[in-house]
Structure 1
């Protein structure tokens, strides 16, 4: 049984603006911002792979209802267009499964483990060293400034004191039961 992949190159249907298609595709795949920029960059992005023909057609129809155009390509053959090869995810279409056609330049490409980590895929973080043992990590200390709060009405209980709620003195009236008798 042949398997297919859904590829997207940022093309939109006639009569649909780029902004409308971006918004609808973002809702469809629950992605936003940076992932949408990758999808609509013009590069070939594989959205889903390993589908049978029926499932691939359902994806195509959903994407076209959102206002965009995609292609269904057989997995054993090369891509339909003459574009660069693409990394293809084996996960369902989530934020983590939208992968660009080429890895970032300037280092190793890291695949995110889930949709949350996909948001940090293209973040360039500086290299931080570990401070030597005993070094002061904070550069400057701010002088202590007391807050202008009046605490004179508060007091502390002595050590060992019972901090439970104070017992109320109750003048409970005990009813007179002298007139009552028990009978067999």
Structure 2
């Protein structure tokens, strides 16, 4: 039995403004602005995976009722990009066009979408037992003059001495015992 995944590309249906679709998708999935920014970034974000065909179709219908366009892809096969259904679909919620030129890596989920634009150098792996520190610096004492300081003898009380307070003797002359 084939399994399917629901992928969202941040596109909206014709006749629906991006703000309306964004609000409806936020209500549908109960997510905040930060997660909506990831969903509507224009990148492919997998919303749900491992679904049977009937469940995947229910997700697709719910997302389309909210005013957005998603794709239902069979897992383990080459993914197909969502069709461009309107001119509003080729722009982000901020009105900036999405860049489609050049090679790009599509993130597998919302977590990986946050790292899709990070450019990191290709670090190699050092052999076992290699010294990872570039160079060692000799320890140099700091020129601090401590000659004015001294230590208290062992067992001495370093707290401020408290003044002795005489106990208050209450006046009980007005009290009597009765039989």
Indicate yes or no: 2:33 matched with 1:33. Answer: yes
2:6 match: 6
Q: CA deviation at 1:102?
A: 5.6
Gaps of 5+ in 2: 82-102, 121-169, 171-179
- 1:13-67: per-residue Cα shift (whole Å, max 9, x none)? 1110000000000000111111101100100000000000000000000000000
Report 1:26-175 matches (<5 A): 26-81=26-81, 84-88=105-109, 98-101=110-113, 103=115, 105=118
Q: Deviations over 1:115-139 (max 9, x none)?
A: xxxxxxxxxxxxxxxxxxxxxxxxx
Structure ranking higher on relative contact order (CA contacts 8 Å, 6+ apart): 2
TM-score between both structures, scaled by the size of structure 2: 0.50
- Measured against aligned partners, the alpha-carbon deviations of 1:93-145 in whole angstroms (never above 9, x if no partner) come to xxxxx4353626378xxxxxxxxxxxxxxxxxxxxxxxxxxxxxxxxxxxxxx
- What do residues 132-165 of structure 1 show as CA deviations (whole Å, max 9, x unaligned)? xxxxxxxxxxxxxxxxxxxxxxxxxx9xxxxxxx
Q: Is the 8 A contact 1:44 1:83 kept in 2?
A: no
Separation in 2, partners of 1:83, 1:47:
20
Unaligned runs of 5+ in 1: 89-97, 108-157, 159-184
The structural deviation recorded for 1:76 is 1.1
- Provide the aligned length of Structure 1 versus Structure 2: 99
Distance between the aligned counterparts of 1:70 and 1:52, measured in 2?
A: 16
Aligned CA RMSD, in angstroms, stands at 2.3
Question: By how many angstroms is 1:71 displaced?
Answer: 0.2
Moved over 4 A (4+): none
